[in-house]
Amino acid sequence: MLLSAFLAFSPQTAQAITLISDEETEQLLYNIALPFYKNANIPLKPNSIYIVQDNTLNAFVADGNNLFIHTGTIVSASNSNELAGVIAHEIGHIAGGHILRGKLQAEELQQVGLASLILASAAAVTSGRGDAAMAIALGGQSTMLHGFTSFRTDQERSADEAAVKYLQETNQSPRGMLNFMKKIQTSNRLNGIEESPYFRTHPVTRERISFLEQAARESKAPAPSSNDEDFKRVRAKLIGFLNEPEDTYRQFPSSDTSIAARYARAIADFKALNMPKALKGISSLIDREPDNPYFRELKAQMYMETGKTQAAEQEYAKALQLRPKSALFQISWSQAAMENNPNSAKLQTIINQLNQAVIHYPDPLAWLLLSRAYDAKGERAYSDYAAAEYSLGIGAVKIAQQQILRAQKAPNLSPQLKLKIDDLHKRISTILKKDN
């Protein structure tokens, strides 16, 4: 499980968020979302579903039709049908063109607000009365807020209708969507202090509840889903990693012998630094399901984080054999292999794996490992190029510029590498010009 900072822009927010990269969770979300994307005639591009490490109930879409799901939403869902309802609703926003419309509406509302302030200032100067300025400003703000509220309500109604349609077309019940909406509403009423981000950006109205109640009554589709078992495991995994071990033990007591509960307890044991018990727990799950790549991955992570890099490399290799196209597994195996003094042949294998990984998942860690591997092979130009990609990925643009300039000066560059270096140099120069 990898964490990285990411700057997300949406109609509601523009802020730095922390993303979790986890193959198992991403695969579950992909499996749930794919039928909806197909029915909406929207291409599901690689790496367009993101997991946000945040315990609040929230989900949103952003530029490029990217879908963001908070871990709090996944953990708070009772089953995969509830999570499917949230995802279907967000895809309804994409299909409805609400991302672009939201931007245009926000610009219009800002203009209304600015016009009100200009009129208010003129009134204050002309009359010398601050109360006149206040009246005009409040009037403009009232118009602005009313317009925004109406706009938001229309969007939510449209997304609900689309979501119900997608659920019906894929033989899934709208009841999960209804239950999750009621869950959010109840949670906010009980807390009474601050509404969840999802509630603020997706206002729950009586009309929306009534619409979903009718849709649930009319639906003949089953609420259980083929994704339920995978959902239980992913939910348990997130709880295990994100909660304190004591909380995980309370939620998944030893009396619970399900796969999901044993998974969560093995992770909690790992976090509690009880390595013998953690390894015993995950090994028993592997004995039960030897072809489960995610159990292999967790065991490898346990070895890796306790300094047993050779054992980690072996377990990551087994996970990679089971999912050979997984960019995350390619990166994890390469990281472990780099710690074990690889010979020239192994270095080339690492380089091959990482070059495949960055095509689909250009994570800074992959570029850093590539730079190290190329350097160990004595290929300085390639090393500097990969280092520049890494530096750019973490926001160190000026350092990236120095590294790419050094790569450009290397002798005997192949045409392919020269093209990559020149392209990266242009990207870096463009960013520096914008910053200046």
The pLDDT value given to residue 303: 98
Least Cα distance to 387 among 405, 360, 409 occurs for 405
Radius of gyration in angstroms for the set of CA atoms belonging to the chain, rounded to a whole number: 26
For 224-237, the pLDDT digits (tens) are 778 999 999 999 99
Residues 286 and 296 sit within 8 Å (Cβ to Cβ): yes
3-state helix, strand, coil in the chain (%, to 5): 70, 5, 20
pLDDT on residue 156: 85
Mean pLDDT of 96-118: 48
pTM for this prediction: 0.81
pLDDT at 339 over 70: yes
Phi/psi of residue 164, each to 5°? -60, -40
Contact 316, 333 (CB under 8 A): yes
**Which has more confidence, 132 or 334?**
334
Q: How far is CA 335 from CA 60, 216, 355, in A?
A: 33, 48, 13
Pick from 335, 260, 342: nearest CA to 301: 335
Contact 252, 261 (CB under 8 A): yes
In this predicted model, what pLDDT tens digit does every residue of 38-91 receive, in sequence order? 999 999 887 889 999 999 888 988 877 889 999 999 999 999 999 999 999 999
| Closest CA relative to residue 195, chosen from 52, 57, 14 | 57
% of the chain surpassing 70 pLDDT: 79
Give how far the C-alpha of residue 226 lies from the chain's centroid of Cα atoms, to the nearest Å.
Answer: 23
Please write the tens of the pLDDT for every residue from 307-321. 999 999 999 999 999
Mention every residue, 6+ apart, whose C-beta is less than 8 A from residue 360. 46, 47, 327
Name the pLDDT band for 144 (thresholds 50, 70, 90): very low
Is a pLDDT exceeding 90 seen at residue 431? yes
pLDDT surpasses 80 at 336: yes
Write 251-254 long-range contacts (CB < 8 A, 24+).
none
pLDDT for residue 252? 98
Cβ contact 425:433 at 8 Å: no
pLDDT at 173 over 80: yes
Containing 192, the helix (H) or strand (E) segment is: none
The candidate with the shortest Cα–Cα distance to 56, out of 227, 231, 188, 247, is: 188
- Sorted by where each starts, the structural domains of the chain and their CATH numbers stand as 2-100+148-218 (3.30.2010.10)
Residues 6+ apart with CB under 8 A from 50: 6, 8, 19, 66, 67, 68, 69
> So what's the pLDDT on residue 186?
76
Distance CA 436, CA 431 (A): 9
pLDDT at res. 284: 98
Give the 3-state DSSP-derived string for 273-338, with helices as H, strands as E and coil as C: CCHHHHHHHHHHHHHHCCCCHHHHHHHHHHHHCCCCHHHHHHHHHHHHHHCCCCHHHHHHHHHHHH
Amino acid 379: pLDDT: 97
